[in-house]
């Protein structure tokens, strides 16, 4: 039986996620922005939290861990970097590790840049990628702790995943990302189509997530820093993709 995934809002613009194994009844929260909405989602589904899979140490991703750990005595899985302030960690994981949630299996990818400890969880059989603040729909996270080449390599790692992989990211930023991307690639047909879709979804107060890796490859300007037309659009024709990516991210920071 396939994994069951539930998406719900947390804080001001975070996504909360539960992934549930219907066979063993194991349930993981991907990060823990705040406890209240996660507890409500669990109660609504009749599920019990067995695991929290942490992507990185920022407070809007770990703020609910202590309350959830007290209530459910769940396992907390987190990046291997012990310097990062993540509370109550039971298990540290790094690139290539496998994390089990009941019978469900997640592969760990190290995706640093936004933070140095950032990891993503890939449920290959269920075609689900939980990438938090590395990759957004039509965007990517700010580079706070890493470098632009580091973040570009992390994005390439995610871009290489199968086209039908569903992308579950950390925030509802798609509308603002679309606005920025259209300023770089105004004639990109995939981007224009996504812009229409996003406008409709947000008008109906619906989430723009999940998206697909295939669609992000076609429309997400940050994943297209190695496309000559994108380099030319930011005045960096012939420069390295990492340099183009850096310029894109700098412009988005100021947008």
List the one residue out of 88, 81, 87 whose CA is nearest residue 119: 81
d(CA 27, CA 239): 46
- Is position 80 annotated as part of the catalytic site? no
Select which of 60, 81, 117, 215 is catalytic.
Answer: 60
Q: Out of 51, 81, 133, 215, which one is annotated catalytic? A: 133
**Rounded to whole angstroms, how far apart are CA atoms 26 and 35?**
18
Question: Per the residue annotation, which of 21, 58, 126, 215 is the catalytic one?
Answer: 58
Gap between the Cα atoms of 8 and 120, Å rounded = 19
| Distance (Å, whole) CA 135 – CA 137 | 7
Q: Please indicate whether residue 20 is annotated as part of the active site.
A: no
Distance (Å) of CA 173 to CA 15, 31, 133, 198, 209: 10, 18, 11, 10, 10
Q: Which member of 21, 51, 57, 61 is catalytic?
A: 61
Residue 158, helix vs strand vs coil: helix
Q: Of the listed 20, 57, 114, 118, which one is catalytic? A: 114
Backbone angles phi, psi at 107, to 5 degrees: -95, 135
Is 133 annotated as catalytic?
Answer: yes
Q: Give yes or no: 21 in active site.
A: no
Catalytic one of 20, 56, 57, 118: 56
Active site amino acids: 56, 58, 60-61, 114, 133, 171
């Amino acid at each position: 039986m396939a994994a069951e995934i539930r998406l719900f809002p947390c804080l001001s613009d975070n996504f909360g996620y539960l992934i549930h194994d219907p066979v063993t009844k194991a349930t993981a929260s991907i990060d823990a922005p705040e406890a209240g909405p996660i507890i409500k989602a669990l109660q609504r589904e009749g599920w019990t939290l067995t695991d929290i899979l942490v992507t990185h140490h920022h407070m809007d991703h770990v703020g609910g861990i202590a309350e959830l750990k007290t209530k459910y005595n769940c396992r907390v899985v987190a990046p291997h970097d012990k310097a990062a302030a993540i509370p109550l960690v039971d298990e540290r994981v790094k690139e290539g590790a496998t994390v089990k949630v009941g019978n469900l299996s997640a592969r760990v990818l190290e995706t640093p840049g936004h933070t140095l400890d950032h990891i993503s969880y890939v449920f290959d059989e269920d075609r689900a990628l939980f990438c938090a603040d590395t990759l957004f729909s039509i965007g990517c996270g700010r580079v706070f702790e890493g470098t632009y080449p580091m973040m570009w390599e992390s994005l390439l790692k995610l871009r290489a995943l199968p086209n039908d992989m569903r992308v579950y990211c950390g925030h509802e930023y798609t509308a603002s990302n679309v606005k920025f991307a259209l300023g770089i690639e105004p004639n990109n047909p995939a981007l224009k189509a996504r812009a229409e879709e996003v406008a409709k979804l947000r008008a109906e107060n619906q989430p723009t997530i999940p998206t697909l890796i295939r669609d992000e490859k076609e429309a997400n300007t940050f994943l297209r820093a190695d496309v000559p037309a994108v380099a030319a659009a930011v005045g960096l024709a012939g420069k390295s993709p990492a340099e183009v990516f850096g310029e894109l991210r700098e412009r988005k920071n100021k947008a």
